[in-house]
Structures are given as structure tokens and as C-alpha cells.
Amino acid sequence: MLVVYSLTHTGDPSDINQQLDPSPTDPIVKSNVDKFYNTDLDSILQKNHIQTVIITGYAANGAVLHTVVAAAFRGYHVAVPVDGMPASTLYPEQYTAWHLLNSPGSRNQAVLTRTDLITIAK
């Protein structure tokens, strides 16, 4: 399974938790909250014939929200595990979940799930 890592503009690969340590061939994109913005994320996904993406992140109301909407706008099917979109308080998590399910940009492309419900077909 292709895994693409993302960082802020000032982030460094050493900032990634060692348990999630990318391999030397794993792509890393650097951008603001929308990880498609000014990156080659879309071309990486297209080159690998990806149609469905699983998006998690450090902040529900930051990169998760904006990258899910950007992926949906580009026609990707998006799975968002709610246990993979933390926030500093419960409200941003709730708002992000509501937004993804109700916004015209993402409501028909995104589904909420949990990590233990995701299986990868071989």
C-alpha cells in the first residue's frame, strides 16, 4: 500500500514519529493545511492509480479537513478514520466530522470510519 507522508513547510522528516518512520522511497509532501496545494500529491496518487485515499492527521480542523475536501474536489473517494483525526478539544473533531459529511464539496466522496474497520484488499 502506498503511504504518502506530509509535513508543514518547515517540517523535517525527523519530525515524523519513529513508529511511523517512512522508508527512503516513501513520498513526503510539504504544504500548508491542504496537502495538495503546491505539491505533487495529486500526480503521485495518479501515477500509482490510486482512487481511494485514507486521510489521517495531527489536527482534525487543519490538514485533515482541508486535505479531505481537496481530495474530494479531485474526485478521490476518501475514508477518514475518526480515531485518526485528533484535535485539542472535542469540538473541532465534531465539527470536522459534521463538515465532511455535510459540505457540498465532500459529502458524496468522504466516509467516516475507524481504523479497526479498514481492511486492505490484496
Q: What is the pTM of this model?
A: 0.93
5-117, which class in CATH? alpha beta
79's enclosing H/E stretch is strand 77-81
Q: What is the mean pLDDT of residues 68-75?
A: 97
Give how far Cα 63 sits from Cα of 25, 81, 93, 119, Å.
Answer: 23, 14, 12, 23
- Which of these ranges, 16-20, 24-28, 80-84, 99-103, has the smallest mean pLDDT? 16-20
**Strand 52-54's sheet: what is its strand order?**
52-54, 77-81, 110-113
Residue 38 has pLDDT above 90, yes or no: yes
Looking from the CA of 22 toward its CB, the CA atoms found within 13 Å total 17
